[in-house]
């Protein structure tokens, strides 16, 4: 098994052998400024150090989300901490792992029911098909129209647009985790700028009170921030309960001052 020794770097051929990425693709990443080599040896071979490998891992992870190279470059340019960004991505992957586990279980239940000639509840058959997983919560908190408008907006986007949106969310989440990890104060300019971006993101989603003229934006933001802490599914996006508590405190201050 190949290992990375501190203080050394790997040639482009070693990288392709480990990652499955082609040398042509790595050269293309370098040509567009996405992943320049750490150094070029006298024989012309490109070499990559640990920092470059971490960046390559982020590129490949974001490609798994369906992002194109321009969107990936934009996400990476905004990242303040690769480690925090990877932590946010792990949180997303764990959520996907849970969803896939439920998908597998629902299909297995259907297979078993079909083999035994039994009836199966529709709720069991479609558990894990999750674009509507928060439907009931949204309708209870903000009304059926809010969910209907948001869902229609999401369904109107093609795969590329949805992938770009996921990338924007992932970038925002990684920036929140980086700020918390760095010990940024909730009332600092850095934290309050994150809050501004967060509210701007919420306002871009049709059907939310933040996007509705005359809506209770302050109450909506404050309530949503409390939900991040109370619900582990949301808190996972910000590094867990402590990270979510930081987001809540920052958004609470922003709501009091600006909304």
Residues of the chain with pLDDT under 70: 1-7, 65-66, 92, 95-96, 99, 118-151
Q: Quote the pLDDT of residue 189.
A: 92
Task: Report the C-alpha gap between 136 and 51 in whole angstroms.
Answer: 43
Closest C-alpha to 69, from 158, 178, 160, 154 = 160
Residues 6+ apart with CB under 8 A from 86: 54, 57, 58, 61
Task: Please give the torsion angle defined by the CA atoms of residues 127, 131, 132 and 134, in that order, rounded to the nearest 10 degrees.
Answer: 100
The answer to whether residues 9 and 47 touch, using CB atoms and an 8 Å cutoff, is yes
pLDDT tens sequence across 240-250: 888 889 999 99
- What is the third-level CATH fold of 10-64? Multidrug-efflux Transporter Regulator; Chain: A; Domain 2 (1.10.1660)
Task: Report the C-alpha gap between 112 and 28 in whole angstroms.
Answer: 48
pLDDT tens sequence across 64-123: 766 778 878 877 877 777 777 777 777 767 766 776 777 777 777 777 777 777 655 544
CATH 1.10.1660.10 residue ranges for the chain: 10-64
Task: Report the C-alpha gap between 249 and 226 in whole angstroms.
Answer: 9
The answer to whether residues 209 and 217 touch, using CB atoms and an 8 Å cutoff, is yes
pTM greater than 0.85 (yes/no)? no
Q: Quote the pLDDT of residue 1.
A: 43
The answer to whether residues 154 and 131 touch, using CB atoms and an 8 Å cutoff, is yes
Report which DSSP code applies to 208. S
Q: Quote the pLDDT of residue 218.
A: 87
């Amino acid at each position: 098994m190949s290992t990375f020794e501190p203080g050394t770097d790997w040639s482009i051929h070693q990288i392709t052998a480990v990652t499955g990425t082609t040398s042509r693709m790595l050269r293309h990443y370098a040509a567009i400024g996405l992943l320049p080599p750490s150094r070029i040896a006298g024989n012309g071979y490109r070499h990559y150090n640990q920092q470059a490998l971490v960046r390559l891992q982020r590129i490949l992870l974001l490609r798994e989300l369906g992002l194109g190279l321009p969107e990936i470059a934009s996400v990476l340019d905004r990242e303040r901490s690769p480690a925090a960004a990877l932590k946010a991505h792990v949180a997303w992957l764990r959520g996907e792992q849970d969803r896939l586990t439920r998908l597998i279980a629902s299909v297995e239940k259907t297979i078993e029911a079909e083999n035994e000639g039994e009836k199966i509840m529709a709720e069991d058959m479609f558990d894990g098909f999750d674009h509507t997983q928060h439907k009931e919560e949204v309708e209870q908190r903000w009304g059926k129209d809010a969910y209907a408008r948001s869902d229609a907006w999401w369904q109107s986007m093609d795969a590329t647009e949805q992938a770009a949106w996921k990338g924007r969310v992932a970038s925002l989440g990684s920036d929140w985790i980086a700020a918390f990890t760095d010990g940024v104060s909730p009332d600092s300019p850095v934290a309050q700028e994150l809050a501004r971006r967060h509210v701007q993101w919420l306002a871009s989603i049709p059907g939310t009170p933040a996007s509705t003229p005359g809506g209770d934006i302050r109450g909506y933001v404050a309530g949503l921030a409390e939900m991040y802490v109370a619900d582990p599914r949301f808190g996972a996006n910000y590094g867990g309960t402590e990270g979510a508590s930081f987001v809540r405190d920052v958004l609470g201050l922003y709501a009091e001052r600006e909304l």
